[in-house]
Amino acid sequence: MKVLVLDNVSEKAVRILSEGGIEAVVNNNKLTEDELCRIIGDYDGVIVRSATKITAPVIAAAQKLKIIGRAGVGVDNIDIPAATHAGVIVVNAPDGNTIAATEQTMALMLGLARNLPQAHKDLKEGKWMRKEYLGVELRNKVLGIIGLGRIGTAVAKRAQAFEMKTIGYDPMVSPEAAAANGIVLKAMEDVIKEADFLTLHIPKTKESLNMINRETLAMMKDGARIINVARGGIINEADLYEALKSGKLAGAALDVFAAEPTTESPLFELNNVIVTPHLGASTREAQVNVALDVAKEFVNVLVKGEMAVNAVNVAPIKPDLLAAVRPYLTLAEKLGKMQAQLVEGSIHNIRITYTGELAQIDVSPLTISYLKGFLESLAEESGAVNFVNAPVIAKERGIMVEEIRTGEAGDYTTLISARTESADTLEIAGTLFGRDDPRIVLVDGFRVDVVPRGNILVIPHHDRPRVAGPVASIVGEHNLNIAGMQVGRKSVGGKAIIMLAVDTAAPDEVLAEISKVDGVLDVKMVTL
């Protein structure tokens, strides 16, 4: 495995990669898109900070690429849709610079309240401007926080130490969770209207671009102040300039800008604006922490074959959830593989039902694992489907995926069942015996007990004598060793199914002979 390390990422990350068995190639030159396209094809992974852009052409040129790492939080410099469609995992380091960005926010808030940079500058120029720089206290002021993730919550805790009242908006946070951190959850409009200081801690998306604009700035209190240590572009800088120049706002502190790097802006002309050159994550500790977090993810994904914890184009999996679902990942994938090889016609709906203990947890990783197995069997090219792009490919194929959880598992502690709908319907189900012994226990209504491994002949037939024997004889005559055999039926004399495991996949001529056995209704070779 080879990983390209760019943008002066910490040497400690290189050490983690090397110790994990990955060849790390460091290139600290500023590469153009064309230069990166020429070399990226040799690498299984690439780690960047914010300088290098991983664009769609770069991803298209990276035939071996499996993972892209951003040593930081923001992934604006990575084409996420292109990576997802190519099946490339994109990971970031959301925890490593939390404290750095939090402390930068507090520093800017204090500087804004007490005019510290302006007073510092004037005094060094020989001006004693004591009366001109009358400040305000943070105590008893309302801090409005838009975005209550790690950084927003950490800012709230520190602001509370200054005896500020903290209110916030985040559609993904419950009132109870906010209250547990001393934050009163409100509608975004109310947060904007009530804040004496407004701080932003959200990613830049289509929805958040220019979110703070002429209309929202007009809602703010006269004399309020705003801080942005999140992403440039969330605040419309032209509208902010007008609000500051007119006196509507008392001040603004910006660490990020719509275009970076930038050294010229109308905002720089205003004395009530504090600016810093995107220093939110720029501490020695943060640069090391984010690099180490990403390097560890690379070792886990590329060497150990584990799922990424901090993937931004796959639903992130917390360690406790990963531990809970890990035993079932293989089972779910094998169910998908088998079902794809048995079903006929164009699939338009897949319903996956989780019963028993699995109904109590987030099963989305298992659904993705099932889809990976299902679509992999239909893909023209090996490796074209993985955990990243399986949901995207399913959507492109027009397959609707339903996920159902229910506590009733019947005869099993847990059960995963999948039902496909096309011209016909087909349902298969599986469970675990113990903690690591996956079994297929239901195929098209027939109860079976099959280890989902290797090659399995699936033979629906009429339940009568002289069917299983002739089938086994044909297999033996072609020197195919039988590894196991299961027969399932619903009623005596009705329809039944043979599940015949063989050490080597049966060629077409064997399938043709078996299909001619009196009583055989169909025969399929399933390879797992």
Q: Looking at 16-105, which runs of residues are DSSP E strands?
A: 23-27, 45-48, 67-70, 89-91
For 223-246, the pLDDT digits (tens) are: 999 999 999 999 999 999 999 999
- Token readout for 484 is 């196991």
66 DSSP β-pair partners: none
For 172-201, the pLDDT digits (tens) are: 788 998 999 999 999 999 999 999 999 999
Mention the CATH class of domain 98-275. alpha beta
Supply the mean pLDDT for the chain. 92
Task: Please give the positions annotated as active site.
Answer: 231, 260, 278
Q: What distance in Å separates the CA atoms of residue 75 and residue 223, rounded to the nearest whole number?
A: 34
Q: What is the pLDDT of residue 379?
A: 65
Mention the CATH class of domain 453-528. alpha beta
Residues 6+ apart with CB under 8 A from 371: 336, 350, 390, 391, 393, 394, 401
* 207 DSSP 8-state letter: T
Q: What is the pLDDT of residue 384?
A: 65
The pTM of the full predicted model, rounded to 2 decimals, is 0.65
- Token readout for 243 is 């609000």
Determine the 3-state secondary structure of 298 from DSSP: helix
Mention the CATH class of domain 2-95+285-303. alpha beta
User: Edge-to-edge, what's the strand order for the sheet holding 273-275?
Assistant: 184-185, 165-169, 142-146, 197-200, 224-228, 249-254, 273-275
Mean pLDDT of 42-47: 96
* 185 membership: H or E segment, kind and range: strand 184-185
CA-CA distances (angstroms) from residue 485 to 356, 462, 465, 499?
28, 17, 16, 6
For 100-129, the pLDDT digits (tens) are: 999 999 999 999 999 999 999 999 999 999
253 DSSP β-pair partners: 227, 274
Report cis status (omega within 30 of 0) of the bond before 261. Answer: yes
Q: What is the pLDDT of residue 383?
A: 58
Q: What is the pLDDT of residue 430?
A: 95
pLDDT higher than 70, residue 381: no
Instruction: Indicate if 98-275 has the same CATH topology as 2-95+285-303.
Output: yes
Superfamily name and number for 318-452: D-3-phosphoglycerate dehydrogenase; domain 3 (3.30.1330.90)
List the chain domain ranges: 2-95+285-303, 98-275, 318-452, 453-528
